[in-house]
Amino acid sequence: MGSDLIEENKGKQTAIFLGTIFLVGYIVNMVGSLINGRGTPMEVLIGFDHLSILGIGVLFYLGYFFRSLIWAQPIVLFLLTPILMSGSESSSSFYPLGFFITAVLLLVRFGALDTHRLKRLALCLIYFLACEVFGWIRFRKDFSSIFSTLFFVLGFLLFLFTAFNDRIVVYLKEPKQKVSLEERGLADAEQLYVLQIISGKSIKEVSFENGVSESTIRNTLSRAYKKLGLHNKADLSKFAEHYDVVQ
């Protein structure tokens, strides 16, 4: 319940930010079109390109009020990536790459990459490269442009991995599944002793810290082991290696 609330609050923050960015973009584009004489004020006001930008901004704003629309943020940005790639012959535009990176960061922020991180990030990269191919086909670009883009994209990823190797490896490592001792039916004392044993303390140390006899600790742990489907301290150690044990 708490994590859902955090996710919702994060979604509201980015909804306001992205909605404002697109609203400002709508105004800037409209003013620019009027200054360059690209049509009458009414034609500019109701132009498809301008209304599309405004519509996306409104959709993002609605994500602040309707939780179901929060996920529209990364989805829309992902969809805009191939559209922008095929909308101009210019290969130097950073709009598609910017939208793609923002979409991936939103997935991270909303917790969509909390599991199966490597696979999901790989799918995102494959999607981006597929969008690039779509743009190449759309404008029939030569092989050199294809090779150049792939070279710089892969080179940039290699640079990130080299520069932040330790952090990337830690992030890509799959988090352990959480196991709640309370949900497994352990009493308060059982939870306390189990967590202390997992932290590396001996039965003698647990006994001294809590002011109870070692036999009491052993009996309490014995009951806790049964509730967890374990037999002894060795089983608990293996259990803690595979799961994130919490109260």
Reported as a single tens digit per residue, the pLDDT across 156-166 is 777 777 766 66
| Burial classification of residue 48, based on how many CB atoms lie within 10 Å of its CB (0-12 exposed, 13-18 middle, 19 or more buried) | exposed
What pLDDT is attached to residue 83?
Answer: 81
Which helix (H) or strand (E) segment holds residue 178: the answer is strand 177-180
Condensed to tens digits (0 to 9), the pLDDT of residues 64-109 reads 888 888 889 999 999 988 887 765 554 445 678 888 888 988 888 8
- pLDDT of 124 above 80: yes
Condensed to tens digits (0 to 9), the pLDDT of residues 19-40 reads 999 899 888 888 888 887 777 7
Condensed to tens digits (0 to 9), the pLDDT of residues 126-153 reads 888 888 777 777 766 666 666 666 777 7
DSSP tag of 175: P
Condensed to tens digits (0 to 9), the pLDDT of residues 208-238 reads 888 889 899 999 999 988 988 888 888 888 8
Question: Can you tell me the mean pLDDT for 46-68?
Answer: 85
- Looking at every residue in the chain, the average pLDDT score rounds to 80
What pLDDT is attached to residue 75?
Answer: 92
Question: Can you tell me the mean pLDDT for 59-64?
Answer: 89
Which domains, and CATH codes, for the chain? 2-142 (no CATH), 177-246 (1.10.10.10)
Instruction: Report the candidate in 80, 40, 89, 37 with the shortest Cα–Cα distance to residue 57.
Output: 80
- pLDDT of 169 above 70: no
Q: What are the tokens at 117?
A: 């991180």
Confidence of residue 4 (pLDDT cuts 50, 70, 90): low
CA distances from 237 to 85, 185, 202, 220, 224 (A): 52, 19, 12, 17, 13
What pLDDT is attached to residue 90?
Answer: 47
If phi > 0 it is left, if psi is from -120 to 50 it is alpha, else beta; for residue 9 that is: alpha
User: What does the alpha-carbon distance between residue 212 and residue 26 come to, in Å, rounded to a whole number?
Assistant: 70
Please report, rounded to a whole number, the percentage of residues in the chain having pLDDT higher than 90: 8
What pLDDT is attached to residue 3?
Answer: 47
